[in-house]
């Protein structure tokens, strides 16, 4: 009889789950929601902001955004940030020149997200009355930025900002309202400054720098077919490189088979141009040499005439 009741009890435990005792290891622990903190809580343009987070997935890459937009793929962190095995991370970014106010800042591991707030205070709260430095103005695209070129009409010279070279070699100290700038980025990004949002495509972008949301971005355009000395080059301004150098630098052949005659005064420099160096083409005011070839690797500008293909 005892065997009969033992058999019945075994059947009951088999078919009635509520009567079984589950091992402790099979019960899922409650997950703590992720949390981030920012320091300082009030930052000026150009300040280094620290972001720390807990409760994220272990070993996951963290992406940060400001203002927070879960649908965007931009990242304020300049280096790759990963959580440790406990889900903790620490990252840094440079405060961009946003309008004064309180902004949301968020971090995500692709599955879990957390947000916090930070207050931005610009020049009118102690930064100083001088122009904002280029590194601050372009802080929102620091991880994508390669270099920036601008032509100074007053000095008739090109100015350069390249974050990879020593600071003293950069001649473009700040971006001025109404100025035009060629910006090279290694990946698509969003430039945010002073309340302005500008979408940048991978490669070269030509933008006009304004103080209002009217700023627009456009790909580097082709030159207009105006009546100038020599032939008119109808190709794109950007994306070129040196294919060959002829007659000791008198002629430069680019990758699209376009041939360029260098002005007599610039041939000493063109002698030292090398294959595969990146070239940007812009218009020149000289009727004899209506174009300029800008060597982006050497930072040199040569007057040139287009001879055809």
- On whether both 188 and 165 belong to a single domain, the answer is yes
Give yes or no: residues 86 and 166 share one domain. Answer: no
Average pLDDT value over all residues in the chain: 76
Is residue 261 included in any domain, yes or no? yes
Confidence of residue 27 (pLDDT cuts 50, 70, 90): very low
Distance of alpha carbon 95 from alpha carbon 234, whole angstroms: 41
Reported for 285-291, long-range contacts at CB under 8 A and 24+ positions apart, including other chains, are 287/228, 287/229, 288/229, 288/263, 289/229, 289/261, 289/263, 290/228, 290/229, 290/230, 291/223, 291/233, 291/260
pLDDT above 70 covers a percentage of the chain that reads: 73
- Has residue 292 been placed in a domain? yes
Q: 213 and 246 share a domain?
A: no
Give the per-residue pLDDT at 38. Answer: 92
Domain with residue 104: its CATH number is 2.60.40.1930
pLDDT > 90: percent of the chain: 16
For 209-237, how does the pLDDT look when each residue is reduced to its tens digit (9 = 90+)? 765 444 344 444 433 333 334 566 766 56
Q: Within a domain: residue 11?
A: no
Question: Residue 169: what are its φ and ψ, rounded to 5°?
Answer: -90, -10
Last residue of a domain, one of 98, 125, 152: 125
Instruction: Give the residue from 187, 219, 251 where a domain finishes.
Output: 219
Is the residue at 75 inside a domain? yes
Query: Do 134 and 172 form a contact (C-beta atoms < 8 A)?
Result: yes
Give CA separation, 199 vs 176, 217, 256, in Å. Answer: 19, 7, 28
Q: What's the pLDDT at 121? A: 74
196 in the same domain as 140: yes
In a domain, 58, yes or no: yes
Same domain, 120 and 141: no
pLDDT at 73 > cutoff 70: no
| 249 in any annotated domain | yes
pLDDT score for 137 = 80
The count of domains in the chain is 3
Q: Based on the fold, state whether residues 141 and 119 are members of the same structural domain.
A: no
- Establish if 246 belongs to a structural domain: yes
**Would you place residue 51 in the very low, low, confident or very high pLDDT band (cuts 50, 70, 90)?**
very high
Residue 279 belongs to a domain: yes
Cα(238)–Cα(294) distance, integer angstroms:
10
Q: Which residues pair with 49 in a beta bridge?
A: 93
Tell me: do 157 and 215 sit in the same domain.
yes
Q: Specify the DSSP element, H or E, that contains 241.
A: strand 240-246
| Residue 78, SS3 per DSSP | coil
- The whole domain housing 203 covers 134-219
| Residue 269 and residue 207 share a domain | no
Helix, strand or coil, per DSSP, at residue 254: strand
- pLDDT tens digits, 118-153: 988 764 433 344 456 788 788 888 888 888 888 887
Residue where a domain terminates, one of 79, 105, 125: 125
């Amino acid at each position: 009889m005892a065997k009969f009741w033992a058999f019945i009890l075994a059947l009951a435990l088999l078919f009635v789950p509520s009567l079984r005792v589950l091992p402790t290891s099979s019960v899922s622990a409650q997950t703590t929601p992720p949390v981030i903190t920012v320091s300082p809580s009030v930052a000026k343009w150009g300040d280094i902001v620290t972001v720390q987070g807990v409760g994220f997935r272990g070993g996951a890459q963290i992406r940060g955004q400001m203002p927070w937009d879960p649908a965007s793929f931009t990242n304020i962190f300049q280096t790759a940030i990963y959580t440790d095995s406990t889900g903790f991370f620490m990252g840094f970014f440079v405060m961009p020149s946003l309008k004064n106010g309180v902004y949301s800042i968020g971090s995500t591991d692709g599955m879990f997200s957390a947000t916090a707030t930070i207050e931005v205070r610009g020049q009118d709260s102690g930064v100083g009355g001088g122009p904002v430095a280029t590194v601050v103005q372009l802080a929102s695209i620091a991880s994508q930025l390669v270099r920036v070129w601008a032509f100074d009409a007053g000095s008739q010279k090109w100015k350069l900002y390249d974050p990879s070279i020593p600071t003293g070699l950069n001649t473009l100290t700040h971006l001025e309202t109404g100025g035009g700038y060629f910006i090279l980025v290694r990946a698509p990004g969003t430039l945010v400054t002073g309340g302005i949002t500008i979408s940048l495509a991978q490669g070269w972008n030509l933008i006009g720098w304004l103080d209002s949301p009217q700023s627009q971005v456009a790909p580097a355009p082709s030159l207009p077919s105006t009546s100038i000395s020599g032939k008119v080059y109808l190709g794109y301004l950007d994306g070129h490189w040196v294919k060959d150098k002829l007659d000791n630098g008198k002629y430069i052949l680019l990758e699209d088979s376009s041939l360029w005659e260098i002005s007599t005064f610039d041939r000493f420099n063109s002698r030292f141009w090398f294959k595969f160096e990146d070239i940007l083409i812009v218009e020149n005011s000289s009727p004899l040499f209506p174009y300029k070839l800008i060597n982006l690797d050497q930072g040199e500008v040569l007057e040139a005439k287009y001879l055809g293909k």
